[in-house]
Structure 1
Amino acid sequence: MSAMEKISVAIIGAGMGGLAAAAGLTRAGLKVMVYEQATKFARLGAGIQIGCNAMKVLRAWDLEPRLRGGAFYPRSWNNREYDTGDIRFDMIFGPVAEEKYGAPYLLAHRGDLHAALASAVPADLIRLDHKLIGFEQLADQTVKLRFANGASAIADAVIAADGVHSFVKDELFGRHQPNFTGRIAYRTVFPASLLNGYAIDDCTKWWGPDRHIVVYYVKPDRSEVYFVTSQPAPGFTVESWSAMGDVNELRRAFADFHPQVRHVLDACPSVHKWALVDRDPLPRWCEDNVTLLGDACHPMTPYMAQGAAMAIEDAAVLSRCLDGVDRDGVANAFRRFEATRRERTSRVQLSSRTNTWLKAPTNPDWVYGYDAWKEPLASPEQPRPV
């Protein structure tokens, strides 16, 4: 490889983390190809909170105008008692948080954020219908990839953004079941017109004794409402985002909640249901010229609304670590990436698991004040024994 030749990077998975990595690395001048097992992108019915820390990354890719135009700009994330509505903690966002943390806090449809990230990656750099079934690191430090459709590829570096059930993680570090939390979530997005003029808060988490529900708008004109719940269900282990739930069962589960909650649940036409899982922090993310990113290495419960944000931060830091690196330096860059990110993502994973975020007055500066473009890069760890 000549000194002027850019390394080639294969990204496995075109979810939030994979597309964010592609956006960052193409802007760093690397040769990127994204491989996604799905045959098409789908606009799943889910909301997403785009924290100030994630927005600082997305701004660098010129996505802020698009996201501001299509997302909701909330006054606050209000935390209330499930029945009386008494305020536990009202975390003020809007202009106050934007001035303090240097970027806005937005509430969006997950599909709209995904589409924005896809727009930041040239379409010809995304290969759909490419499910990874094998890979090997070759003697010349390249990595050979094999896909279920019979295709193969060779890259200087591989980034596995293939989710909580990461094939690459299992191949590198062994297969372990994620932690089923014994809880389920219901979620849906539906037209706000179904509320028939009933007023709801911008963004509220209603805290019950053993369950909660988060409700917020995902469009700037308040035309769409999203909610997501968490409640006990020890025997349920279906993780599919497309599995349907019983809306009447959901209504019964929240029958003693505040009238605002009950009105939202009465208005929603259908819901999806899935089991909540996470993993313990991994001791290592990379092996030679292959690394994990996002949910592949630090999946977490949704209670801090930081899962996608952590993957987006990962992408920014990784693009900084790989900028200007040749093939001989990839493994070292991946170790630097891991060393820079592991402490923060582990802290968010474990903090989210407790489900206490913003339940009482909280100083969130350590989460929202983080800037992935300015965070000092750690010294790479020494090669670890296998």
Structure 2
Amino acid sequence: MSVSRIAIVGAGLGGAAAGALLQRAGFTVDIFEQAPAFSRIGAGIHMGPNILKIFRRLGIEDALLAMSSHPDFWMSRDGASGDYLARIPLGDFAVKEYGAAYVTVHRGDLHALQIAALQPGTLHFDKCLTGIEDDGSGVDLRFADGTHARADIVIGADGINSRIREALLGEEKPNYSGWVGHRALIDAEKLARTGFEFEPCVKWWSADRHLMAYHTTGERNEYYYVTGVPHPAWDFDGSSVPSSADEMREAFDGYHPIVQALVDCTVEVSKWPLLNRSPLPLWSRGRMVLLGDACHPMKPHMAQGAGMAIEDAAMLTRCLQETGLGDTETAFRLYEVNRRARASRVQAVSNANTWLRTQEDPAWVFGYDIFEVPLRDEVAA
């Protein structure tokens, strides 16, 4: 049986951030991931200035800036007419006003940067958690491959279907939101042949659906779109299923010719259910604590879901530094007190799908620096 001071279950963006931040703070950390390996699959992702400031602490900000696209604006446009609903300044404005850049990037490229920031030998693949027990003095973890581990504390960064959440609160399926998302990655050369201009970061809106599109590399040779579309029930097996350009045409019938051209360039597109949970009554118990989608899952409509997991990782690190592993009860209480309100607000705005649809001020999200905000105690909260 291996022994860790801190065990993290799940090595996604939040788990990887927690591992790297805690290791840099001097803690002994092992990260257990059920996947056999990571590869460059998946989707694009936005990283706002609030998160770039965390990556600065990890030493990966410059590498991320070099590989990512830097939009000058977030554009919101009417799906049918193409009229501009909002032009939210980013680019140099974000650096000056919020303290860091706003970037869009391929999720796999970002994840690879984060994994490389972990201490060698501390990420363990093929570790599907089958059992966990907190005996008061430590936590035992059992994996499907027959191995065991023991830790002083366990951080559940294992997503919306978290096994750590189940250990704290019991089994409960997430709620289907009534929406699906479509994802597609398109070669920019193919788009160039259409004769249309495809903006670096634009969200097309109508009353009950949307399509968000942006570049995922610094060279801007990939263009990605993700949608939110009503769907009465998720009646498929698995986390996603193949879709088609024909299905996209039906979903976005009547949308602007630029959107139609984007759909016409689609070669492969998938769709997946947008799942959710009600706010949890607790974030920790004993020696186990949750972060990210295991704790406060949200629709992706604000482009801050992964960002909230990474902020969670930074705040949890701050709290553990404050108390040490000898008083994790206080550390976990401080963590929840200092994260619940912000994470819940972002969750509510994201689920409502109103973010940046009109000309609003995003400073409350982008200007936030998790290392500079005062650490509140329970009474002050």
Q: TM-score normalised to the size of structure 1?
A: 0.94
Aligned counterpart in structure 2 of residue 299 of structure 1, from 264, 272, 297: 297
Aligned counterpart in structure 2 of residue 352 of structure 1, from 350, 359, 363: 350
State whether structure 2 residue 29 is matched by structure 1 residue 35.
no
What per-residue deviation string (whole Å, max 9, x for no partner) do you get for residues 202-260 of structure 1? 11101012111011111112100000011111112558555211221112221211111
Aligned counterpart in structure 1 of residue 152 of structure 2, from 129, 133, 156: 156
Partner residue, 1:245: 243
State whether structure 2 residue 183 is matched by structure 1 residue 202.
no
What per-residue deviation string (whole Å, max 9, x for no partner) do you get for residues 134-168 of structure 1? 111124x2111111111111111110000001111
Are the aligned partners of 1:72 and 1:108 in contact in 2 as well (CA < 8 Å)? Answer: yes
- 1:1-386 equivalence runs, <5 A: 8-139=5-136, 141-197=137-193, 198=195, 199-236=197-234, 238=236, 240=238, 242-323=240-321, 325-380=323-378
Q: Given residue 358 of structure 2, which amino acid in structure 1 is its aligned partner?
A: A
Which runs of 5 or more residues in structure 1 are unaligned? Answer: 1-5, 382-386
1:98 Cα offset (Å)? 1.4
- Residues 1:177 and 1:242: Cα distance change in structure 2 (over 3 Å): closer
Are the aligned partners of 2:4 and 2:150 in contact in 1 as well (CA < 8 Å)? Answer: no
Are the aligned partners of 1:281 and 1:298 in contact in 2 as well (CA < 8 Å)? Answer: yes
What per-residue deviation string (whole Å, max 9, x for no partner) do you get for residues 62-81 of structure 1? 11111111100001110000
Are the aligned partners of 2:299 and 2:351 in contact in 1 as well (CA < 8 Å)? Answer: yes
- Residues 1:86 and 1:239: Cα distance change in structure 2 (over 3 Å): farther
1:307 Cα offset (Å)? 0.3
Are the aligned partners of 1:179 and 1:279 in contact in 2 as well (CA < 8 Å)? Answer: yes
Mapped partners of 2:339, 2:236: distance in 1? 30
Which runs of 5 or more residues in structure 2 are unaligned? Answer: none
- Paired residues in the alignment total 375
Q: Given residue 250 of structure 1, which amino acid in structure 2 is its aligned partner?
A: M
> Structure 1 residues 39-48 or 19-28, which shifts more?
39-48
Q: TM-score normalised to the size of structure 2?
A: 0.95
What per-residue deviation string (whole Å, max 9, x for no partner) do you get for residues 286-344 of structure 1? 00111001110011001100000001111111111112644431222111111110111
- Residues 1:327 and 1:94: Cα distance change in structure 2 (over 3 Å): closer
- Residues 1:164 and 1:20: Cα distance change in structure 2 (over 3 Å): same
Q: Given residue 159 of structure 1, which amino acid in structure 2 is its aligned partner?
A: I
- Residues 1:279 and 1:258: Cα distance change in structure 2 (over 3 Å): same
1:282 counterpart SS class: coil
Are the aligned partners of 1:290 and 1:331 in contact in 2 as well (CA < 8 Å)? Answer: no
Are the aligned partners of 1:180 and 1:237 in contact in 2 as well (CA < 8 Å)? Answer: no
Q: Given residue 330 of structure 2, which amino acid in structure 1 is its aligned partner?
A: N
- Superposition CA RMSD, Å: 1.6
Are the aligned partners of 1:7 and 1:30 in contact in 2 as well (CA < 8 Å)? Answer: no
Q: Which runs of 4+ in 1 moved over 6 A?
A: none
Mapped partners of 1:65, 1:301: distance in 2? 29
1:10 counterpart SS class: strand
- Residues 1:115 and 1:124: Cα distance change in structure 2 (over 3 Å): same
